[in-house]
Chain A
Amino acid sequence: MQTGKACDETVTGEARVRIEGGLAHFPGLAKEQTVSFDDLAIPQRQELASLAHLADFFNCTPGIDPTRPDARTYTVGLTIDGRSREIRVAEPIRDPAMAKLVSVVRRLSKQYAAVRECGGAR
C-alpha cells in the first residue's frame, strides 16, 4: 500500500548498503554502495519508498538474531525526503517486507555502482 509521498514521483533521497559475511569474504565487495534517487527511474524510486513504508523502516526495531554461519549482515541506510536512518539486519530476514526492501536496495545499489564505475560493463 503506497501512501502520501511514497506515491509521489518527486520523492528524493538515496539508498546505501554495506554487506558483510557470506560464504566467503571478498575484500572488493565489502565496501558500501550508494545509489541516489536522482539516478533511479520513477518506478524504482516509488518501489523503494513503498517498501520502506511497508517495512516501517524509519520506526522499526531491528531484531538482534545471532549471526548464522555464512549468512550475511546488511547495514542499510535510507534517506527519503529528508528522513534518514541506518539499520543492521542479519539473514535470515524473517519480515517479508524488510527482506524485500533489503533485496531491492542491494540490487539497485550494485547495478548503479557498476554503471558509475565502468558504464555497466565489467
Chain B
Amino acid sequence: MCTSTHRHSLHCILPPYILSQIAENGSPEMRAMAMRSLLIDPTIRLVRASTAGPVAGAIARRRAAAGNILTPSPLRTIRDAGGEPEAPGVTVVRREGDGPTGDIAADEAYDGLGATFALFWEAYQRNSIDDAGLPLDATVHYDQDYDNAFWDGTQMVFGDGDGELFNRFTISLDVIGHELTHGVTEKEAGLAYFNQSGALNESISDVFGSLVKQRLLDQTADQADWLIGARLLTAKVNGIALRSMKAPGTAYDDPVLGKDPQPGHMIDFVRTNQDNGGVHINSGIPNRAFYLAATAIGGNAWDRAGQIWYNALLDPNTRANTDFAGFARVTIDVAGRLYGSGSASATAVTKAWSAVGVI
C-alpha cells in the first residue's frame, strides 16, 4: 500500500514490466524515476529470497514437536459472468468447501485452481500465487462466443468458446494452471510481457500448467503428452492442441486458424510486432528446452526439472528483462546449486538449452 512515507507512486504500485516500458518510452523525468525503481527492485527481491522459505530453528522444532504444522489450503471463489463481458462476474456460484454446482465450467475452474494450488504447495512449498495465501478467484462464462482465457491481475477469466473452433476454456487443466502461473510470475520475476522476456513469461506458464496436469495424472516425463490446451479445439479443427512443448509448430494446421507458428530452435526465432513481439510464438523455444531437460532427467517432471525452473523464477538474477540466454544461465546455475554442477541434472539442463540453440 502507498503510505505518506513513500516518495513516488512508481515505487509502490507499478510492476517491473510497466517500469521497463516507462524507462524506455516515458518523459525524461519519468524515465529517471522508473530507472531508479528498477534498480531498487532486484535488491528487494534479493532480500526477499534470502529471508523466504519455511520457518526454521527453535520455533519450527517446537511446532513439529507439538504436531502443530500448519498446512495451507486454497481459498477459492468462482463467479459467473452470465455471458456478459464483466469480470468479476456478478454471481458467486461456488466458494471454498462448497460441493459441485453441476455447472461444468464452474466446477472445472474450482478443481483446476485446487490442482494448481496443490502443485505449488506440495512440490515447491509455495502458498498460493503470492506465497502468502492469496485467495484464488475465477470468473467463468465471460462474454458470448468468447474464445479466450486470461489473467487480469487479480483473477482468472474464462470464456465458453464459440463451439465452432473452441470448446470452453476450462476444459484443459493445463490452461487453468497456465493462467494462475502468470500470477506467480507477476509476483516474482515480473517478466516483461513482450519480446523474449514475454515469451519466457508464457513458457513458464506452459511449464507449470503442464506440470499441474502431469502431477494430477501421475505421469512421468516420458508418459506425458506435453500438450497445452488438448481438448480445447473442437473436432472441426485440424489440430490437437494450442501448443506442443515436445514438438513446437505441430499442434495445428487448419484452414481457418492457420498453421501453428511456434519455433523449437533459435534458428527459427520469429521477429514480429504481433502478439506483443511473438510471446505465444517464440515460447516454443524455452518450452522445448524444458521438455528436453525433464525427459533427460527422467521421473516426474515436477520434481527435479520443475524445482530447477521454479527456483530460477525466484532467483534474483531473473529480472523483468531477462531473455532466453539469461534464464538459461540461471537454470544451469540453480541446477548446479541444487544437485551439483557436474550432476546429471545440471548436465541435462545445459544440454537442453544447447539443443534449442539458446546457448
Q: Contact mask B243-283 → A, CB, 8 Å, 1/0?
A: 10000000000111111010000000000001110101100
Per the 8 Å Cβ criterion, residues 1-38 of A in contact with B are 20-30
Taking CB atoms, residues of chain B closer than 8 Å to A22 are 147-148, 150, 280
Per the 8 Å Cβ criterion, residues 1-29 of B in contact with A are 15, 17-18, 21
Taking CB atoms, residues of chain B closer than 8 Å to A96 are 85-86
Question: How far is A28 from B87 in the complex, measured between Cα atoms in Å?
Answer: 28
Q: Is the CB of B275 within 8 A of A20?
A: yes
Q: Which of A67, A70, A72, A91 is most buried by chain B, counting CB atoms within 10 A of its CB?
A: A70
Taking CB atoms, residues of chain A closer than 8 Å to B258 are 26-29
Q: Is the CB of B256 within 8 A of A122?
A: yes
The verdict on A62 contacting chain B, using a C-beta distance below 8 Å, is no
Question: How far is A107 from B160 in the complex, measured between Cα atoms in Å?
Answer: 14
Per the 8 Å Cβ criterion, residues 55-91 of A in contact with B are 66-72, 91
Q: Is the CB of A25 within 8 A of B193?
A: no
Q: How far is the CB of A101 from chain B (nearest CB, A)?
A: 9
Question: How far is A107 from B85 in the complex, measured between Cα atoms in Å?
Answer: 12
Per the 8 Å Cβ criterion, residues 144-197 of B in contact with A are 144-153, 157, 162, 164, 169, 175, 178-179, 182, 185-186, 193-194
The verdict on B348 contacting chain A, using a C-beta distance below 8 Å, is no
Q: Is the CB of B256 within 8 A of A28?
A: yes
Tell which of A20, A24, A66, A70 touches B274, judged by Cβ atoms closer than 8 Å. A20
Tell which of A23, A91, A107 touches B229, judged by Cβ atoms closer than 8 Å. A23
Q: How far is the CB of B138 from chain A (nearest CB, A)?
A: 14
Question: Which residues of A are at the interface with B, using a C-beta cutoff of 8 A?
Answer: 20-30, 66-72, 91-93, 96, 99-100, 102-103, 107, 110, 122
Instruction: Beyond the given A24-B242, A72-B148, please list 20 additional residue pairs across the A-B interface where CB-CB is below 8 A.
Output: A22-B280, A28-B255, A28-B257, A29-B256, A29-B257, A30-B274, A66-B21, A70-B151, A70-B178, A70-B179, A71-B150, A72-B150, A96-B85, A100-B84, A103-B85, A103-B143, A103-B146, A107-B145, A110-B162, A122-B164
